[in-house]
Amino acid sequence: MSEIERRALMKGAALSALAFTAGGVEVLLSPQQARAQNIAFKTLNADQVATLEALGDTLVPGAKQAGISHFVDQQLSIPPEQALLEARILNIRPPYANFYRAALGAIDKASKTQNADRGFAQLNDTERHAFVDLMRQNKVDGWQGPPGPFVYLVLRSDAVDVVYGTMDGYAALGIPYMPHIAPEKRW
């Protein structure tokens, strides 16, 4: 890691908020704020975002609104040393985008195969739930990608992070957060 990257890392550490680009200017936002401001995605394409948001809400209600797609996209656009993704601690080799593209692609491809060419985002809630239930048990026919249970683990963790792992998430559950050093943006 270069000194410049090191400074960026420490800046992130000191501020503990995520850097997004809006109108060519870097702004510090929570993923939920980034979503509300319709910040452009840097790494994921529109199909991948649609799949991720549909999957996020299927795994943890509220994940889409909490900005799971902006969280993951922002994280995939920064050096892995700075990443906050649970992928980091699950022995996934950087660049993490490779895993996410493979995982989201596998979900969509399997969904289309089984549902008359409808991608995961086009499924209704009942169909999405049934698909994820099979995926977590590694029972999706014709699955081609990282193991389904592992995809479930990683993406479910991301959804849990953005919904339940933040200060706002704790407040919504009614659990005292009690930080020694609080994250910026309550995130």
Partner 1 sequence: MANAKVDVVIVGAGASGTLYASVLAKAGKKVVLLEAGPDWQLSDLISSDFWGRRVKPAGVPFTFEGKNPYGYAYQAGWGVGGAALHYFANFPRYLPNDFKVKSEHNRGLDWPISYADVAPYYDKVAAEIGVSGDATAEELWRPKGAPYPMPPMKTFRNGDVWKKGCEAAGIRMVPAAVGMNSTEFKGRPACIYDGWCHVGCPIGALANPQVTYLADAKKAGAEVRALSTVTRVLTNEAGSKVTGVEYYDAKKEKQVQEASVVILAAWSAQNPRLMMNSATDKHPKGLANSSGLLGKYMMAHYASGTWALFDDDVENHMGTVGAQYMSYDRYDKTSKKGAFGSTYIVAGTALKTSDLGGFANARFDLFGPQLADFMKRAKRGITRLTAFGEEMPNIENRIELADGKDEFGMPMAKIVHSFDQDAVALWNANFEEGLTIAKATGAKEFWSARGNQPTIHLFGGTIMGNGAGDSVCDSYGQTHEIGNLWVAGPGLFPTEGASNPTYTIFAVSQRGAEQLVSKWGTVAG
Question: Footprint of partner 1 on this chain (CB under 8 A)?
Answer: 1-3, 6, 9-10, 13-14, 16, 58-62, 80-86, 88-91, 93-94, 129, 132, 136, 152-153, 156-157, 160-161, 164-166, 169-170, 173-183
146 upstream amide cis, omega within 30 of 0 = no
Instruction: Give the nearest distance from C-beta 24 to partner 1 in angstroms.
Output: 27
| Both tokens assigned to 159 | 């959804």
Q: Is the separation of the CB atoms in 145 and 98 below 8 Å?
A: no
Q: How far is CA 42 from CA 144, 151, 167, in A?
A: 25, 22, 26
CB of 92 to partner 1, least distance (A): 8
Nearer residue to partner 1 within complex by CB, 94 or 105: 94
Q: Is 164:174 a contact under the CB 8 Å cutoff?
A: no
CB closer to partner 1 out of 47 and 86: 86
> Least distance in Å: CB of 78 to partner 1?
11
Q: Considering the complex, what minimum distance in angstroms separates the CB of residue 128 from partner 1?
A: 9
Instruction: Note whether 9 and 81 are within 8 A (CB).
Output: yes
**CA dist list (Å): 116 to 110, 119, 148:** 10, 9, 21
Residue number, 41 or 170, with CB nearest to partner 1? 170
Looking at the Cβ atoms of 37 and 179, the one nearer to partner 1 is 179
Q: What is the DSSP string of 18-61?
A: EEEEETTEEEEE-HHHHHHTTPPPSSS-HHHHHHHHHHHHHHST
- Which residue type sits at 109? K
- Of 45 and 182, nearer to partner 1 (C-beta) is 182
- Shortest reach from residue 9's CB to partner 1, in Å: 7
